[in-house]
Structure 1
Amino acid sequence: MNDLDALYRELILDHSKHPQHFGLAADGEGTGTSYQKNPVCGDEITLRAHVDGDVVAEVSWEGRGCSISQASASMLADLVADEGLTREEALHLVEGFREALRSRGTIELDEDVYGDAAALSGVSKFSARVKCAMLAWVALEDAIAKA
């Protein structure tokens, strides 16, 4: 394992052990909630997105499962919360993440765009783990549609 792989593995484990934006924020007007489950492994994510006007103002989540699914949710919530993205920008991020994870390692996520979530690029080489990493991103897509 090279140094970059070791750093990415450490980053994934850190987000899994110390999740960001964990715990569902209050539900209310402009808020969409999505529950997603990976029936293959049992990972579960409930994600809540608060959309203020056209801006995704807050993302919170709860879940349980493998370190990849939990780290991915933490990284996503952190990324969206830090950026103050519009609906369109958030959905564009989801689509880019989906494309990279389906690429079987041919597309790397840009760290300048995806922040810590770029560490999940390597998951695309393991098709059984792609759904784990995608779970929160699919939940965000759904929650934004419901908001």
Structure 2
Amino acid sequence: MGLAKLNQLYREVILDHAQHPRNRGELTNASGVVELRNPTCGDVINVAAQLKDGKIAALKFTGSGCTISQASASLMTTVLVNQPVQRARELIMAFSHLISGETISDQDDDDLGDAALVGSVAEFPARIKCAALAWHALDELLDQKGDDHHD
């Protein structure tokens, strides 16, 4: 795919997820909720997950912030819901590598789906924290829950 088409696809996906976020709202019966803030730009993200039988059974977010942080949170929820916790953690790490400009495996790229398009944010270091905020919040939530995935 040419660079111009890739940039257009990036803009379309980011704008669509920012304007029509998926899985935005409160999650009743959440196993945990984590709020993170990006003091640099004022983004605030609350990520709530319901963990059941070693999987992320439900995943939602609330908060406010820039287009990139909101779109990235929406994309994260679509990618990681119904994933086994271990695979979700691997994809969080892959996403982190991707937005830092590192190469990830073809399998991780495929599994990240449209969220992999956010990887081009690596060209704009000031925006990396915006893209990573929700992903870091979920990673922190999973850290807090440890091996207790059977709520």
Q: TM-score, normalised by structure 1?
A: 0.89
Contact 2:98–2:116 (CA<8 Å) still a contact in 1?
A: no
Aligned length: 141
Match of 1:145 in 2: 143
Match of 2:112 in 1: 114
Q: 1:12 aligns with which of 7, 14, 26?
A: 14
Q: 2:93 aligns with which of 92, 95, 98?
A: 95
Alpha-carbon RMSD across the aligned residues, in angstroms, is: 1.6
Amino acid at match of 1:144: L
Q: Where do residues 56-67 of structure 1 align in structure 2 (5 Å cutoff)?
A: 56-67=56-67
Alignment partners' CA distance in 1, 2:63 and 2:105: 24
Question: Structure 1 regions of 5+ residues with no counterpart?
Answer: none
Alignment partners' CA distance in 2, 1:71 and 1:13: 7
Amino acid at match of 1:101: I
Tell me the SS of whatever aligns to 1:2.
Answer: helix
Amino acid at match of 1:16: A
Matching of residue 27 in structure 1 with residue 25 in structure 2: no
Give CA-to-partner distance per residue, 1:100-146, whole Å, 9 cap, x none: 1122xx53685421011011011011110000000000011112223
Q: TM-score, normalised by structure 2?
A: 0.87
Amino acid at match of 2:123: K
Tell me the SS of whatever aligns to 1:41.
Answer: coil
Cα 1:55–1:19 change in 2 (3 A) is same
Amino acid at match of 2:96: R
Calculate percent identity across the aligned residue pairs.
Answer: 37
Amino acid at match of 1:2: A
Alignment partners' CA distance in 1, 2:4 and 2:84: 36
Match of 1:2 in 2: 4
Alignment partners' CA distance in 2, 1:141 and 1:108: 18
Matching of residue 125 in structure 1 with residue 123 in structure 2: yes
Match of 1:79 in 2: 79
Amino acid at match of 1:145: D
Give CA-to-partner distance per residue, 1:56-91, whole Å, 9 cap, x none: 11100101111000000000001112xx21111111
Cα 1:3–1:122 change in 2 (3 A) is same
Residues 2-11 or 69-78, more deviating: 2-11
Moved over 3 A (4+): 108-111
